[in-house]
Chains A and B, each alone.
Chain A
Amino acid sequence: MDRRYRIALTALFGMAVFSFWMWLFPQALNYQEQNQLFLFTRDYFSQRLVLPGGLADWLSEALVQLFYVRWAGALVLALLLVGLQLGVWKAAGKKRFLYAPSFIPSLLMLVYMGDVEVLVSYPVALLLAVALCPLFEKAQWHRLWLIPLGWWLVGPVVAVPVLLSVLRGRKWADWACLAWLAVTFFVEYRLLAAQYPLRDALFGLNYYRLVESLPALQPIIPAATLLCILLCGWKVQLRSPLAVETALAAVLAAGTWGGVKLAYDKDTFEVLAYDWLIRNENYQQVLSRAQRFQPRNAVSACSVNFCLFTQGQLESRLTEFYQCGTEGLVLPSIRDNLSDITSAELLWMMGMPNITLQYCFDLQESIQNGRKSGRFMKRIAECNIVNGWYDRAVKYLDMLEHSLFYRQWAREQKALIRDEAQVAAHPVYAYIRSVRFQEDFITNYNKLDLMMAILYNQNKNNFMAADYYSAWQRLSEREEGE
């Protein structure tokens, strides 16, 4: 195929991927970013490197922190997937024929990333593994040390270049590499990952956020990558290569469209979109989206109701949107890393910093791969500042100071808490302190409406507590009526 055509096709693909994340699913970028906290410290680097696949993990987290800026996130993912496609094409060798199959791994990856728990370290690791293919083919006996090093740095996807070199070489030394790969795995497992189940170590410790889960596509994509590399190098006589390639590209595009339709759960991405918009204080946009489509679950109801409040419409438009009782106003404590974010946000504004602290702590601890969160840690630090627990706040602020996008904020807060008068005069902290409970008692989650009433009665400026109390009564009556 003509080089210009190839460049055009790759550029088109890159632009499509960029647009995909930039305008269709930017909420996924936000979700990825808020479930990690990349730190520019040696300790952070070494903590990643103690596990197989650690370098890919570290690199991916360095990239994911950029997702804080929407266009940067979209650009990073576009470059990653384009890089993977070009890597597959390059790995096919000098005698390459079919270009379109080189897109298949990237397109599969795009579909797979409809599962928001897929970590960016997975495409990063695969890209690095594919980039190693030419090296492995030339490496000969150097594979003896390249295989352990590769597994350590990128994880089990290193099997792709190993298998490719074996399939292309087919000498006894190549087949011996497979045995060496197995030995490497067991040795590295015992040395580096003995505190993980064998299956997790075999399929990658840091490719997927959830524990006890192995999505089918995770082992399929590396296998497909290997096949595509071989397919690109498959010598086939075509009468009209351009027409065949174009037809293949069209089929792949249609397949990807279908895959995206299946893999990108509408309700999940809508809830993620609400969260992303609320984080950026685009409350009106949440209401606009909800008017078009609103998932019928408590998390979406909570987000929409909160946005109604911010627009002063909680009372007037409450019944226009999906409701599920009082749970849709404030969610109870749920052990996941998403559901309680809006509840934590509104309880903070209402004057319940301790419940916010609890929710944010649990949200952060619910990130199943054990990562921290810049967004949650920031709010945890704020709750500690409001409570006057500055020693604890400094612990979190120092950590945030090692990040890229929370650094400036952390420095400002550290400067602030050196002077109690400044904290007392700070608009947010002073406000929360003025509306919070003046008495210390045990929180009663079953009587949150009464707690809102207490807040309002002790400070009549706390109109949020009053609005939510009224909404609570209306929804309670409605529930009883039903």
Chain B
Amino acid sequence: MKQVLTLLAALFLVAACTGSTSYVEELPGIYPDYIGVTIPAGIAPLNFNLPEEYDRVFVRVTGSKGGELRVRGKWASFPVKKWQDLTRQNAGGMLSFTVLGRKDGQWTQWRDFILYVSDVPLEDYGITYRKMAPGYTTYSRIGIYQRDLHSFREDAIIESTLTPGQCMGCHTANATSSRQFLFHLRGPHGATYFQKDGEREWVTTKTDSTIGNVAYCYWHPDGRWMAGSINPVRQAFWTGDERTIEVFDLASDLVVMDMEDHSLVVDPRFTTKDYLETSPAFSPDGKTLYFCKAKAFDVPRQVDSVRYDLVRTTFDAATGTLGDIETVIPASAAGKSVSFPRPSYDGRWLMYNQADFSVFPIDHKEADLWLLDLETGETRPLEEVNSDFSESFHNWSSNSRWFLFSSRRADGLYVQVYLSSIDQNGHCTKPFVLPQKNPRKYYHDTLYSFNVPDFTHEKVDFRTSGTYREVFSDERIKATVKP
């Protein structure tokens, strides 16, 4: 009986798909645009939707190295296991998609499209990000989450409901490792949370000699040191219809923290009033510290004059001392501003943002990703991945062959996470948005932006029990200044 029913269903489908199917020599208008992207084998299925007027979709995926997958439904939704098997079977090859859509009872078949499966693996468990409304000065819900890249599973690491009244800063892991990470809480019971091998610490990083708590942080590869910039951040608002918010720092200084005794290296050359220092990042060998530096102006009045250069200094991991400052990219001289330098973990590249001014590219439509070749010193905009909207925060996978970045390209406001791969010559593939079970519904319905995404090599283990008590007890380790 079951076989007869299956046969009847197959006959019905064939009839439906062939009897009155019209063929158009165009690519299907799928959402998200996955046409021609390159994916890692084993990633979560790249489900997609046809335009809303199509009530049914039929998709056949054929691998260049074998294997086939057929799905039908309201949108293209692939079974996770079968999809992963197919992509693994076709690593280094491609997948061909035959798509049929039904509108008003009529089926249409479009030109097949291709999706490439990279032979370079993405070895990380997933990604972490903060979700919050892309708003102004207030938030109702905010949280740090981790998403398994091999399925659709998302878990909360910590949500603001657990620590009411405290704003939540971003999760910063040591080179994608879940063994060592930090995040900030801001508010009356604020602190920076450090976790290393399961050991927890709540630290107040503000001292009498510094202008506030550390904000933008980056771990030294050996885990003993953490560089951080101290940024009293403010917002201003534009009156026109091109942009809304301008984020700026009233001041900003750079310090390095010794995690062994929670002391800060405060070097006067990096804490001047006349200059702003921010966004530190260590090179993978730990000997160089990259950061952004700009001449200070009267803000917000002269906010459009604040332009950051990419600079670097040497770092001695034995003593925590910083060397002389050397300019790497004199962007300000060209009327541009650099932010968020991120060296790849293999030491080959450095990715950064460039905008017309300011240090917060997320609110700058013109902000793009740029790539600096650390071997040749050449730098170029990543035209393969940039869009007409803001590209902002970015990070590397643990093997440095994949990267992710935030972009507002969907609607100009809500930030989504995109992934792309890079080859030995620095060529990047067409990026794809983080897959979702029902992408259009998910991305259209969400009122959250994905902030500060990063890869995580393993699943982050954060214990929620006891957190409320620890936060509201105000028992803190107080950072000191290294003599």
Contact = CB atoms under 8 A, between A and B. Distances in A.
Interface of A: 43, 194-198, 200, 211-212, 333, 335, 352, 354-355, 357-358, 361-362, 364-372, 386-389, 391-392, 395, 398-399, 436-437, 439-443, 451
B212 interface: no
- For B137, B158, B414, B465, which residue has the most chain A Cβ atoms within 10 angstroms? B137
Contacts of A358: 136-137, 237, 244
16 contacts: A43-B445, A195-B161, A196-B161, A211-B165, A354-B239, A355-B237, A358-B237, A361-B133, A362-B138, A365-B139, A365-B140, A370-B141, A391-B412, A440-B243, A442-B246, A442-B300
A343 to B, nearest CB: 14
Secondary structure type dominating chain B contacts: loop
Contact of B465 (A194, A355, A361): A194
Contacts of A196: 161-162
Contacts of A367: 140
B53 interface: no
A88 B141 CA distance: 37
Contacts, number: 113
A372 B139 CA distance: 11
Interface of B: 133, 135-141, 143, 156, 158-159, 161-162, 164-165, 236-244, 246, 300-301, 303, 410-414, 444-445, 447, 464-465, 468
B239 A389 contact: no
A370 B444 contact: no
A468 B156 CA distance: 48
B161 A335 contact: no
Given A211-B165, A391-B412, A395-B414, A362 B468 contact: no
B209 to A, nearest CB: 31
B187 to A, nearest CB: 11
B434 to A, nearest CB: 18
- Which of B162, B164, B239, B246 has the most chain A CB atoms closer than 10 A to its own CB? B239
Contacts of B410: 391
A443 B239 contact: yes
Given A361-B135, A439-B240, A195 B413 contact: no
B240 A395 contact: no
Given A361-B138, A391-B412, 17 more contacts: A194-B465, A195-B158, A195-B159, A200-B161, A358-B136, A365-B138, A367-B140, A368-B140, A370-B141, A388-B241, A389-B411, A436-B239, A439-B239, A441-B239, A442-B236, A442-B303, A443-B239
A398 B444 contact: yes
A358 B444 CA distance: 21
B362 to A, nearest CB: 15
Contacts of A212: 164-165
A442 B464 contact: no
Nearest to A445: B237
Contacts of B240: 354, 437, 439-441
A197 B164 contact: yes
A385 to B, nearest CB: 11
A440 B365 CA distance: 15
Nearest to B157: A195
Contacts of B156: 195
Nearest to A437: B239
Contact of A197 (B158, B162, B236): B162
A126 B237 CA distance: 45
Contacts of A370: 140-141, 161
A451 B156 CA distance: 44
Nearest to A368: B140
A372 B444 CA distance: 16
Contacts of A361: 133, 135-136, 138
Contacts of A399: 445, 447
Contact of B411 (A364, A395, A440): A395
A442 B237 contact: yes
A255 to B, nearest CB: 34
B142 to A, nearest CB: 10
Contacts of A354: 237-240, 244
A194 B466 CA distance: 11
B130 to A, nearest CB: 14
Contacts of B159: 195
A17 B156 CA distance: 43
Of B240, B241, B464, which is in contact with the most chain A CB atoms at under 10 Å from its CB?
Answer: B241
A88 to B, nearest CB: 32
A431 B105 CA distance: 44
Contacts of A391: 410-412
